[in-house]
Chains A and B, each alone.
Chain A
């Protein structure tokens, strides 16, 4: 079974799909970069955006990496790599694989299933994702147009709705992950204080050394790292 789940055909198919996603993403970045420059955004600031995005992504990718490595012995390397690099999430992938295999009367253990069940896992996870992508695509345009209508009728109300979206989203995430348990709460508060401290400190230090203003742009990655270090003492 190990040969089938790690077969070269699966590597080629998954790799080709990821290559298409990479091309799509590269075209979006290129367009975003050009449009930002046309709108007057400084190239140096855009480079800071790139650095900040890389730093902010590294830590949240680690749990996905752990799930990827834990799924590899059971489901092989190409499928979890493909699924977790595209729309899939760590919790979803393990769940879908487990219940599909159990529907086939198999178990999610090393060599605990046959080729037909494995093809079923590939099909269920992939087709469900395709429908989810199509569903999101159907929604994005009308909702975006709806916001444009609000924007064209009143810029003030559109800005207000934008602020409400930001505050509601951040607050709901804070309630979900910060109030789940004591560790989560302490980590949330620690990273929040760290982020505020970095911004305040950067504002103070930039008077003496303008280069210290750069520190402010990395308040989020620094906040995340401080929060995670706290975990080691609290959990």
Chain B
């Protein structure tokens, strides 16, 4: 393996891939054992187009997400994220908040290890809350179906993004002008999906910042 890779990252890839394989095997056992227990034969001839369609639905976002999230979350958290899900609405906010609390630089081993703690705790919290919700199914149902609660749950994502943006803008607002304009224009005037215009925004922002960076370097050399 590349000698620039730290021991922590080596462990993350090794354990991440190995544990994902174990989880995949366990998950595959669920339908197979359940079907044989019920005496039902799974007709894969009928199921495969549905499986392909469902996979396409999930994987269409994956490439863009892995490119944009890996430098922020680190590989260990990424392996966890793709098992436990809810990356955009739970794991990213938790990680960014954790990195701000620790004051560590993004993309470093410190950030990667803090991110593993944040993502793991977030995954546990979510699993525990869902379990509690399931146990309290009858008393909770009327509360959760109330109009006030429905209104709030329909707007959780703008509230999360607003909070994230607020925390990130302080001392960093100039860096947000170009990406906000590009993504805003693409969201309003095109039919592109978020993952697609996130990649375009990322590309435009990187090209622009590299241009500014190399121009500064040239000027410094000229002086």
| Residues of A in contact with B (beta carbons under 8 Å apart) | 4, 7, 9-10, 13-14, 16-18, 20-22, 24-29, 31-33, 35-36, 39-41, 45-46, 48-50, 52-54, 56-66, 68-69, 72, 77, 81-82, 84-89, 92, 95-96, 99-100, 103-104, 115-116, 119-120, 122-137, 139-141, 143-145, 147-149, 151-152, 156-180, 183-185, 187-196, 199-200, 217, 219-224, 226-228, 231-232, 235
Contacts and interface: CB of A to CB of B under 8 A. Distances in A.
Given A62-B156, A165-B71, A227-B155, A175 B186 contact: yes
B29 A13 contact: yes
The 7 closest A-B pairs by CB, nearest first: A195-B166, A32-B116, A223-B163, A227-B159, A191-B162, A128-B54, A29-B120
Interface residues of B, number: 148
19 contacts: A10-B34, A33-B117, A52-B98, A53-B98, A57-B122, A68-B130, A85-B131, A129-B58, A131-B55, A135-B59, A136-B66, A141-B75, A151-B107, A160-B210, A172-B197, A173-B194, A199-B167, A220-B164, A224-B156
A179 B34 contact: no
A45 B23 contact: no
A148 B145 CA distance: 47
Contacts of A200: 170
A146 B9 CA distance: 13
A188 B157 CA distance: 9
Given A171-B183, A174-B165, A195-B162, A32 B113 contact: yes
A165 B156 contact: no
Contacts, number: 531
Interface of B: 2, 4-5, 8-9, 11, 13, 15-17, 19-20, 22-24, 26-31, 33-35, 37-38, 40, 42-43, 46-47, 50-51, 53-55, 57-59, 62-63, 66-72, 75-80, 82-86, 88-90, 92-94, 96-98, 100-102, 104-107, 109-110, 112-127, 129-131, 133-134, 137, 140-141, 144-145, 148-170, 172, 175-176, 178-180, 182-184, 186-188, 194, 197-198, 201-202, 205-206, 209-210, 213
